[in-house]
Structures are given as structure tokens and as C-alpha cells.
Structure 1
Amino acid sequence: MSASPPLPHARIREVFARFQAANPEPKGELEHTSAFTLLVAVALSAQATDAGVNKATRGLFAVADTPEKMLALGEEGLIAHIRTIGLFRNKARNVIALSRRLIEDFDGQVPSSRAALESLPGVGRKTANVVLNMWFHHPAQAVDTHVFRVANRTGIAPGRDVLAVERALEDRIPVEFQRHAHHWLILHGRYICTARAPRCAACPIADICQSEEKTA
């Protein structure tokens, strides 16, 4: 996919004004009840659908919704709940390890800094940014495949890699839209600006988007 030319700042403001008007308080689709359950759900969601993760974690979080309970459940007990999720063995190993680290180094609490989050087993920059944004309300920009595609396709924040897009989003999106920006972009990419056959006829920013891949 080739990137479109960068949108002018006034057009970017209009894009997010429309997203906000249509969905003032966008929500992530991973089910959670605490910072810990959110962290685990996001860690499990790599190369998996949110729906698939939610199906697995409903039973899991009913019995293990704290680091202490997760550690008591153990790796094999965790695997029994998440076997339907891709890479479940490696993810189970990481979740048990991060639970232990939270207990030993953070008094059982999920830290609110990116550096501390990224120090946990299996937690990368994207996972850290999702937790910072969704739980701690930081204006962090988590760039997944949907955000990367939409940012480049529309010209909102073109970039050759995930980090370049993240920095472009931080630089180019007006501050009043930063908090919810990554959710608007994820939902737009998931349901409208899809990788194949984007639904341009239903797109609220079709007249602004500069993509040559438009289907309408």
C-alpha cells in the first residue's frame, strides 16, 4: 500500500471533527474490568480478533482477575482458557511472567508509565500505548494494522513504519482530538476503511481522503 500525500492540518481537523460528531466517546472493544484485565486482554489480542479474545477471557477473568489469582492459576490453567487464541502457549508464558513481575516489582499494580509497561514480559509499545490511553487516559497513539493503514491511505499521518506513523499522529492531530484519535482510526479501519474493498460509499471522510485506492 502506498502512502497518500500528507493532508493539510485544516483537513485533518475536519476529519476528526467528523469522527467526534459521529462517535463522541469511542470505546475499545476488548472487555475488561481493571488495568490488569485490560493489560492481559491486549497482550492476548496480538494476531487475534477482539471477539475471539473476549470469548476466551470471560471465563478466565471470572477466576483470575488479579496478578495473584493469575499466578495461582498457573500456565497450564491459563492455557485451558485461552487455547482458542493464536500463539496461546507463548502468550500464557508471558502473562504468567508479567503477573509475577507486577507482584514482585509493582506491588501488584499496573504501572502508568510507558517505560515500566514495556519492561513487562510480552508487553511492547503498542500494548503499552493501549493501556495508557484506555485506562490512564493518556493521549497515547497505539498503531495497529488498522491505524497504520488508515493513517497512510488517507494522508492523515503517512509513515514508513509503525513508529513513524505514531510520531506523525502525535504531531499532526490537534490536541483536543488526541485522547480518542486511535480509537476513531481503529474503528474506521475495522468497519469502513478495510484492507480489501474499503467501503468508500459509506465513508464520512471520503471527500477529504486522498487515497488512489478509493472504490467509489
Structure 2
Amino acid sequence: MKVSQIPEFFARLAESMPNPEGELDYVNMFTLLVAVVLSAQATDKGVNKATKTLFQLADTPEKMVALGEEGIREKVKTIGLYRNKAKNVYALSQKLIDLHNSEVPQDRDALMALPGVGRKTANVVLNIGFGEARFAVDTHVFRLGNRTGIAPGKNELEVEKKLDRRVPDPYRINAHHWLILHGRYVCKARKPDCPNCVVQDLCRYKDKTKA
């Protein structure tokens, strides 16, 4: 895909998905952070099922700490890697209390200093929670960046940096949502639904599927 075609690429995705949203359930900034931490290597559907009860009991760092690591573990045990994730959720909650007055910081480095929070998680929180133009590169975004040619890279950071350079306004805020949703439901890993793809003629993928 030529760089000059990128505005058209996002214009079509925007037309097909006017109001893209993340699919994780949350009730405030803290629960957004926790949900994203829990979503690593897990489906949003599975996370939402587990956090429905968890967030009813603990929607602040203080309540999460009071629940305890064992209590958290019991609520999220249906999620992959739940033991380590419960440990991180407890620890990050305590760290928010100790260092950030129980508030989720609007700073990527501060977020990444929290247990269980990597660059992708920090970018999701900054984008969804604070409305910043950030590009969270998960497996879907990484695949689309390389498959379509919009932002090819050998690793997630390379793809993120190219998206940051190439995605024009007014598409920057919603760009990673469009890419994630398009990758999840249309440009799937094993069998992309090319006949129903609104950007298939712009995409450089050689092995396009047929109807």
C-alpha cells in the first residue's frame, strides 16, 4: 500500500465503523486499567465474564487491595495466566495508592512502571481513558500493519512507530480500534474475509480469499 492511500484506507474503515469502541467492559479508569491487564493472551469476552463480579466488589484500588490477592485470583481463575495476573492486579492497585493518590496516571512511563503493564496496555489506557492518539499494537494490529502494507514492521514497536507517523488526522484517535476490529472480524489470521473487506483493493496481501 502506498502512503498516499492511507487516508482512503482509514476513510473507508471509518465509514464502515463510525463509532468504534473497545470491547472490554469497565466502569472507571481504574477498572479499565485492570481489564486491559487481564486481557493479555485472553479474549475480551472471557475477561468481561470474569470482571463482571470482580468490579462489583472492587472498583477502586483500595477495594481491590482489601479483596486481597487470593480473592482476586478466585474471581479471575477462568482467565489464562490468572495467578500471575491476580498478583499483578493486587500489586498495581497498591502502587496506585502509594504513588498516585489512587489515580491512574496519564503518563506512559508511569503506567509502564506498574506491575503487569506493558507498552500496549499503557497505550490502550491512554487512548480509551484519556483520549490520546496512541496506537496499541496487538496481534491484530501487527498482522494488519504487515499484511496490508499500511505499517510493516518486524516487531510491535516498529509497527506502532510507523502508524504514528503515517495515520493522518482525523483518524488518529480511533485508528487502533478500527484495525483491531477489522482484524478480529474481517481480516482474520487464518482465513481473511477478503470478499467482504472494504479496503481489499488497497491491500497488498497476495493470497486474498475469494467468495
Do the structures match in fold with TM over 0.5?
Answer: yes
1:156 aligned residue (118, 126, 150): 150
- 1:195 equivalent in structure 2: 189
Looking at structure 2, the residues matched to 110 and 176 of structure 1 have their Cα atoms a distance apart, in angstroms, of 26
The count of residues paired between Structure 1 and Structure 2 equals: 210
- 1:125 equivalent in structure 2: 119
- 2:32 equivalent in structure 1: 38
- 1:90 equivalent in structure 2: 84
Cα offsets for 1:134-193 (capped at 9, x unmatched): 010000000000000011000000001000000000011112111000000000000000
Quote the offset at 1:9 in angstroms: 2.4
Looking at structure 2, the residues matched to 212 and 22 of structure 1 have their Cα atoms a distance apart, in angstroms, of 23
- 2:162 equivalent in structure 1: 168
Quote the offset at 1:205 in angstroms: 0.5
Question: Any gaps of 5 or more consecutive residues in structure 2?
Answer: none
- 1:13 equivalent in structure 2: 7
2:50 aligned residue (42, 49, 56): 56
- 2:201 equivalent in structure 1: 207
Looking at structure 1, the residues matched to 45 and 64 of structure 2 have their Cα atoms a distance apart, in angstroms, of 21
Kindly report structure 1 stretches of 4+ aligned residues shifted beyond 4 Å.
Answer: none
2:99 is the alignment partner of 1:105: yes
Root-mean-square deviation (CA, aligned residues, Å) is: 0.7
Looking at structure 1, the residues matched to 87 and 159 of structure 2 have their Cα atoms a distance apart, in angstroms, of 30
Aligned AA (1:104): D
Question: Any gaps of 5 or more consecutive residues in structure 1?
Answer: 1-6
> Whose relative contact order is higher, 1 or 2, with alpha carbons under 8 Å and at least 6 apart?
1
Aligned AA (2:49): K
